[in-house]
Amino acid sequence: KLPTMKMLLSLVALLSATLLANAAPPTCYSRVLSLSKEITESFKELQTSKAVDSCVEMLPRLYLDIHNYCVLAKLRDFVAYPRCERVLEVSELKEKARSLYTIMISYCRRDLAFFTDDCSALENPVLPPMERS
């Protein structure tokens, strides 16, 4: 009976540690990373949506890599793009991009590390095999 009790206590301790780890508040980096992925996915969905205005085809490409310094210019250009104001999905996406830009240059400025400044990598990204389509 004693080994079973030890195993049960170990399991409870492991589950408690997992719950505590998942309950930790997001860091600046994790927030920027998740928001950039969310924006990139929303942009992909917007491009494939049949119900969206034809102006979406003219939007600047929006692939975000938060480790590339050029992402800041990419976000500025996307938010400043003058077309598609009447398309709700585009307006929402621009607002998310504006939020990401603000977070990166204000709140998380000291927490982020840029590994490259290759702007062409944001225009023609080399995607992992799982993301290619």
Q: Locate tokens 């034809």: which residue? A: 54
The burial of 72, by beta-carbon neighbours within 10 Å (0-12 exposed, 13-18 middle, 19 or more buried), is given as: middle
Q: Which two tokens stand for residue 41?
A: 């996915």
User: pTM for the full model?
Assistant: 0.71
Give 38's Cβ-side CA count (13 Å radius). 14
Tally Cβ neighbours within 10 Å of residue 114: 14
Computed over every residue of the chain, the mean pLDDT equals: 79
pLDDT tens digits, residue range 70-112?
Answer: 999 999 999 998 888 788 888 999 999 999 999 999 888 777 7
pLDDT tens digits, residue range 11-23?
Answer: 677 666 655 555 5
Asked whether 75 and 35 are in contact (CB, 8 A), the reply is no
What residues does each domain of the chain span?
27-123
